[in-house]
Chains A and B, each alone.
Chain A
């Protein structure tokens, strides 16, 4: 038994991989994909690949990128990850204006709605804040230091989000918890006033987003979790409004054949700007589940499943611009070294969500994509990508996610066994 324990420890390093991420500019001026330490940006205005400029202390990322995000106004872009730096880019010049060091690996980032503050969370549960006050769009910011904002007690923070009205910052962790904190006027002094805790998930919380419309400007929080549900919350009270068993639906689709999975974690979710649709990516599901949210009755329901035909594509991240009505999906993984270098990713787009033309959502073929081969070559790493790469990638991401976030369960015997090896305690026979 001892041997197996050691083995687990050794293999851990190999399977510690990061999923590919995607982020779309709010008005779809550009789109960014992060795979491993590679950050790839495609600009739609010039219809060309962007080459990033980074003259700050350590250029570019040295390890897997774990979080990318555009600011609400689209002028800034933030990337961060396992190399313990947060990079803030200007989307005008794609120049890195600031590199902020972090003590620990970074697991999530968010920008305040007024783009004055960048928040990032580390793997030890501390959320930090950097102020961008005085940044006029061109100059570089040097020696920016982050100040601690709040902390979850030694838990990995999986997602960070600002409420639509900017009053609250929401943080989710692997201990099933979502914390809603009042975002203070002077964030550098810390955020001490907790508005509520949203408790109800029974596994790690993996993703957060807000649904809001002009009728409900304060919006409602939606969260996805390892317990394979998507839940709807009222953040001011922390009350659970509705629970949608997305995993059960995905399992039904997948059950035509293979082994039975106990529960499929929600990997990412993405709300649509009109506030009623939510796209959900699930482990092992080749496609996405669309949920609709009824804000007047505060309920969630599954509208349909958009399957991806002819290709084994399990999205690892979703992105959406607030204007164009296109849903971007990516799948890929940081370092499956046996396959490729540089790492490959696969991008697909779903269209047909416009309210004006109520057609069925369809997955665009590669030749229908704006930017065409140029875009695919930049974002994917190559125009065509072998399918088996992605099945392996999805599998690797799934194992990595459960290793990182799911609590290890040891049987009583195993725990007793481990205790026996302790030298400060003798078991009387």
Chain B
């Protein structure tokens, strides 16, 4: 941990990055033109940089292993880190638009990998606008889970088109999700919860999970406990509204 002494942004005791050095604004405009590099197509993404251990030992493991979980707007990465140990053999990626937050998650994962050898090798993060560039990262039907946890509510009606769940964007998510894949959404804003549920309910390529299925899914419990945002809501005794839907074949 010699480096840490030179690097004040990492905590001396845990080796993890300290959030205070990665302050960022709470919102980011998804409509603005992006100035970060975007891969031309999914085959242009070099995942060996993201998952060095999985790729170096690719002789034993299926070398065509692909990312299966995507956390859209991963924020500070709480969910990814919980999922990482729950599904150690599944590659997952967080997508975040805010530059500094992405940097934080990157540092956090690297620090966790150092502190827990062999663990946290299956998670990574990219800075991107997932409302625009999902097809640049994932092939058709590649994903099995997508997460939209505590997205920006965009209360004003004129800003509703900035919401990350909308009928038109669900078409793209349905493209990236394989049949049977699950989309998880949760929010502490009732209005947005209703909106997301209504969008999913009316979409011909999604159906709601039954109560029993929700009960049996270990991931559902994480929605309201794993992320920084959900912990904040819990601290303040707030209510949450979730919608969990499965990608289905549309009725012909």
Chain A interface residues (CB < 8 Å from chain B)? 124, 126, 148, 150-151, 153-155, 175-177, 179, 181, 189-194, 196-197, 199-202, 238, 407-410, 415, 424
A189: B residues at CB distance < 8 A? 204
B129 and chain A: residue at smallest CB distance:
A153
**13 residue pairs A–B, Cβ–Cβ below 8 Å:** A148-B168, A150-B168, A154-B132, A179-B135, A190-B167, A193-B205, A194-B171, A196-B140, A197-B175, A202-B40, A407-B33, A408-B33, A415-B35
The distance from the CB of A266 to the nearest CB of chain B, in whole angstroms, is 17
Of B35, B40, B168, B171, the residue contacting A200 (CB under 8 A) is: B40
Contact indicator A150/B171 (Cβ below 8 Å)? yes
The distance from the CB of B167 to the nearest CB of chain A, in whole angstroms, is 7
Q: With the chains together, A424 CA to B26 CA distance in Å?
A: 13
Interface size band for B? 20 to 34
- Within 8 Å of chain A (Cβ to Cβ): is B119? no
Chain B interface residues (CB < 8 Å from chain A)? 25, 30-31, 33, 35, 40-42, 131-132, 135-136, 140, 161, 167-172, 174-175, 203-205, 250
Contact indicator B168/A199 (Cβ below 8 Å)? no
Q: With the chains together, A181 CA to B175 CA distance in Å?
A: 10
Q: With the chains together, A197 CA to B39 CA distance in Å?
A: 14
The distance from the CB of B32 to the nearest CB of chain A, in whole angstroms, is 10
Contact indicator A177/B204 (Cβ below 8 Å)? no
Of A155, A197, A410, the residue contacting B135 (CB under 8 A) is: A197
Q: With the chains together, A150 CA to B174 CA distance in Å?
A: 13
Contact indicator A194/B167 (Cβ below 8 Å)? no
Contact indicator A194/B175 (Cβ below 8 Å)? yes
Q: With the chains together, A124 CA to B161 CA distance in Å?
A: 10
Q: With the chains together, A191 CA to B31 CA distance in Å?
A: 23
Q: With the chains together, A192 CA to B161 CA distance in Å?
A: 17
The distance from the CB of A365 to the nearest CB of chain B, in whole angstroms, is 45
B203: A residues at CB distance < 8 A? 192
The distance from the CB of B106 to the nearest CB of chain A, in whole angstroms, is 20
Contact indicator A199/B135 (Cβ below 8 Å)? yes
Q: With the chains together, A154 CA to B136 CA distance in Å?
A: 16
B174: A residues at CB distance < 8 A? 192-194
- Taking A179-B135, A197-B135 as given, write out 8 further A-B residue pairs in contact, using a Cβ cutoff of 8 Å, ordered by the A residue number: A124-B161, A126-B168, A153-B132, A153-B172, A193-B250, A197-B175, A199-B40, A409-B35
